[in-house]
Structure 1
Amino acid sequence: MLRLRIRMAHWPRRTLILTDTPRPDCADCDGEGGHNRDYGDYETGEYAGTEWDPCPCWNEDRRWPLLPLPRLPHRQQSYVDPWGGGYSDEPPF
């Protein structure tokens, strides 16, 4: 059974997508969708990274694009100091 929700994706363009979610009552992952697994270097035993092991209760690749969102024009944002530049010793009230 699918448990669908709407999310926003940002690559390659902002798009609303419909995606599957993990089963909230899953006994294996407790609704998280999987487990992080830390692993170490074989020779030194030092920490080498973390891998994500997805739970079989959902498919994280199951998603459908619904609506591409329009691109907003880039604006030059300039900060204008309302007090004209430096600091003031006046109280803010």
Structure 2
Amino acid sequence: MSMDTVHNYYERLVINEIREHYLDKHLDENQLADMACIALNRLPPRYIRFDIDMSFYMSTHEHIEVETRVKKAVRKAYKKISKFSEDEFVAEAE
């Protein structure tokens, strides 16, 4: 049995949101990966095999709601990562 197609629907959405809006924020690869994990942990898991299945059965309202949830989760993750970065900078300076 192949399970290669099973994935969390939000993964691609979160990664795309980070790529589109946060790559210019001077974060390293580890911070970006942490940011994705933090954002995904704020969203309910929605495991699917094919993205088209999820998209096809969602209403326009549901699409907008999902997009809003993803943006909010990524924004909060960015704030958390930024705070950790600032705290590390202060600790190193002391």
Q: Which of 1 and 2 has higher RCO (CA within 8 Å, sep 6+)? A: 2
Provide the TM-score with structure 1 as the length reference: 0.25
**Larger Rg: 1 or 2?**
1
Provide the TM-score with structure 2 as the length reference: 0.25
Q: Which has the higher helix share?
A: 2
